[in-house]
Structure formats: C-alpha cells, structure tokens
Amino acid sequence: MQAFEDKDLFLYFLIAAYLILKDHGLLVLVQFSLSHGFFFFCWLPYVFLCNRVILPFPYHSVFSQRATDFEYVIVEFLKYHFKYLIENKVGYTFLDGQIFRILHKMRSIREIGDGLGDISIEDVQDIEGNHRGLKGLFMYSKSRVSKFDYDVLILYVHGGLGFGMGSADMYSEYLSIFLVNLLEQGFTNPALLAPSFPSDRLEKYPIQMAILLNSYHYLNTLANANCHIVLMGDSTGATLLSSLLLQISNPSPYMLNYLSNTYSYNETRGGFSAEVVKTLKKPSYCIMISPIPNIYGYHKVISNEDDYLTEDNLKNWTKFFVDDVDESTKYLSPGQCSDVKTWQTALPTQGLLITYGTEEIISEDIEQFIGLLTQTGCKLKVDKQLGQVHNWPIVNFYGERLIDHREYSLQLFTGVLSRMLLHSTKSFFEVGAKPPLNIVRIDDDYT
C-alpha cells in the first residue's frame, strides 16, 4: 500500500463529516464546524507556517527536525483532539473505528490491495459459546490457513483512547502488512487476534482484563504444540499486556472471583472460566510499544511540547479505567511491581522487546521499568528511537511519505520475532518455509 497522501486526509475528514451527519444530524455538524473550524483553518496553518516554514531548521524541536510535514500535522491534531475533543461525543468520531474501516476498504480498492497479500480480516464474536463475550478482529492468510497449522498467533491489544477504549479498526492496515512481513520472514501460517472492548466508559476494570484472558485462552485453543503465542500492544494496550503477564503467571484472587461469578465452568465443554485461567501457559514473546508503566501513584513526567500525550491524558485514562477496587496495585499499575522474582515468573519464555521514543513525556518511567525488567536476567531488547513521540510506530505509519520509512517498525518487529522464534518452530524445517529476511540490522544503532 502506498503512503497516506493529501487525498487520504481529505477522504478521512469527509468520512468523519458523513458519520457526524448520520449519527448526530446536520445542526450538530454545523455547530461542531463553527466551534472548531478556527483550529483547522486558522490556528493549525499558522502553527505550521511559523514552526515549519519560517523558523530556521536548526531551531526546530528534535521531533520537528525528524518528522515529515504530514507527521507534524498529525501530532498537532492529536494534541488538539486529546485536549478539546476527547470528552465530546462528536469529537470522539475522529478516532472511531468506522472511519478507519471505511478508509481501509477504499484505499484497498483504489490500490487493488497492493502490499496486503491475501490477508483476510474477519469480525469474530462468541455470544453464547465457549468464549462468551469474545469480540474482535481475526486476521490470517487465506491461502495458508487451510494448508498449514498455525505456527505463530499474535494477540494485539490496541491503545488509542485509553485503557480498553478506541477500536482495533484503526490498526487494520498496519496489522495486515505486519502479517505479510511475518510470511516474508519465514513463518508458515501466522494469524492475529485484536480484541474489542466495550465502548461504554462505565465498563471499567476488571472487564478489560477478563476480555484479554478470554482472548488469550481462545488463541491457546487454536494453537498446536509447536505454535508460538506472541503478545503485542501499544500505549495503554502495552500496559494491559504487562498486567496480563502477571495475571497469567499468578492470577489475583479478585480476578478469579470476578471470573467465577461471570463465566460458568464446564469441564466437558472446555470453555473459558476462572479454573482455566489457573492453567494458562506463558506466551513465547512480547512486544511493548510505548507502555505506560505507572497509571497512578506517581509519574516521572517530562515537559515536552512535541509529545501529544499529556499528564492530564494519563489521569483521565486512569479515571475511566478503574474505580476503587479490592485489587493489588501491581495488577493495575504493573510498573509499581518492584519484585524481581514476580517478573521472572511472569515474563515470556523467549523474552520481550520494548520500544519507545526519546520525546515521550513518560520516557523516564519507561526507562525505570526497563531497568526493573533487566534485573530479571530475561532476554530483553530495548529500542530507543531518537526524536520520536508516544506510540511512534503508528504515527510513522500514517505520517511517513516513503514506504520503507512508514513500514520500518513492522520490519523491525517481524525481524526480531524471526530471530527469536523461527529455529524453535517445527514448521520452519518441515514445510520449506522461506528463509528469514534481514531487512533491518536490528543489532546496530539506528534511528
């Protein structure tokens, strides 16, 4: 797929306007346009002109020196969105999954699916079956799924609008190319599940964790003895994955009690339940993109005008994520779990990768979390990206103009997975899979 262009940006706002008109009516659309038109038509062009055109390059911020014009505009829009639009039902539309689902379909048709291979995206939903409540996107290769067993299954937990908020549809194109790259790296039949969460902000913890445990168990039912299960997530999704690792290794009494009251156990059916959670095995690998280690208690927040994430965002996300519950702090704010033995028990068998940007306001929190995990002696790969902001892979994917640049993170992640997992993957030797490509020199310093 080609990089996002001006026509895609125009299409994005056109779809947003249509959805606002359809869901809220013409009057609301006009009122919203008048209220926020100043930012889009006056303030944003003014800031861009001053900071990107008039200001000499040596005086640009670190992020501005590295970013494309498109990336710069995206980050400025995200700053405005999280400050003024996030609490507005109409403003919520701009990061709604419907926009990205329509946009992805129209881009795929326009470019005849170039670069997406034969990846199929299906909506999965289990209402009354063994995984009652499971809902999300399941992605796989249509030509491989009927010929080979799965050799790697990925549970992708998205960030976006907070803990368990937003939509996985925002990542559909990104994750489709991710699966294509896994095939290029030598995996035979990769697949991915991106679970969906309740859109109602009244649905708070532990619902999100129950959904993740249910999703993880579902992937375990699809896997064979030689299949790797990989956890992957960005922003608040990466934080939820940290908590998930702790729950898998040592489920909390609070969570087990909630699951016992919510999911009935039937041994003959083998469905998801509290009893099943006690038997879950650890994943093979984990990729965390810009995790938020500490959701409350303390933040080592760095003042940085480049990053669209703010301390107010963190506080609001925490407020909508959890109330006062009888749960251990480490399961809610994993960065505050300082017990090395607990993490040694919880971390994946083949290690993990943590990537973040130097311009993130929580970069010190992430580095402290990395320091804690380093003490466990696990296989930990740290990718510190110079001049990048929060959740840099997704920002790059939408903002970079060159294909190699926008897909750089995908090449990095799949390259790491191939090195860590392929030689313990039986199908790699039995069915003549492709040898892995060394697209990115992941052992060198890079930016």
pLDDT of 203: 72
| pTM, 2 dp | 0.92
Q: Could you give the maximum distance between any two Cα atoms of the chain, in Å?
A: 70
pLDDT of 447: 35
Helix (H) or strand (E) holding 55: none
User: Quick check: bond before 58 cis, omega within 30?
Assistant: no
- From the list 74, 217, 19, the residue with the least C-alpha distance to 132 is 217
pLDDT of 317: 83
Distance CA 323, CA 294 (A): 16
pLDDT of 433: 58
What domains sit in the chain, N to C, each tagged with a CATH number?
A: 6-95 (no CATH), 117-430 (3.40.50.1820)
CA-only gyration radius of the chain, Å? 21
Residues of the chain with confidence (pLDDT) below 70: 127-129, 161-165, 200-202, 264-270, 297-303, 428-447
| β-bridge mates for residue 354, sequence order | 288, 382
pLDDT of 49: 96
pLDDT of 263: 76
pLDDT of 425: 75
pLDDT of 432: 58
Tokens of 348: 């994946």
Distance CA 158, CA 82 (A): 17
- From the list 354, 239, 292, the residue with the least C-alpha distance to 247 is 239
Pairing relationship of beta strands 190-195 and 285-289 according to DSSP bridges = unpaired
Contact 239, 291 (CB under 8 A): yes
Within 13 A of 258's CA, how many CA atoms are on the CB side?
19
Helix (H) or strand (E) holding 6: helix 6-24
Distance CA 256, CA 266 (A): 16
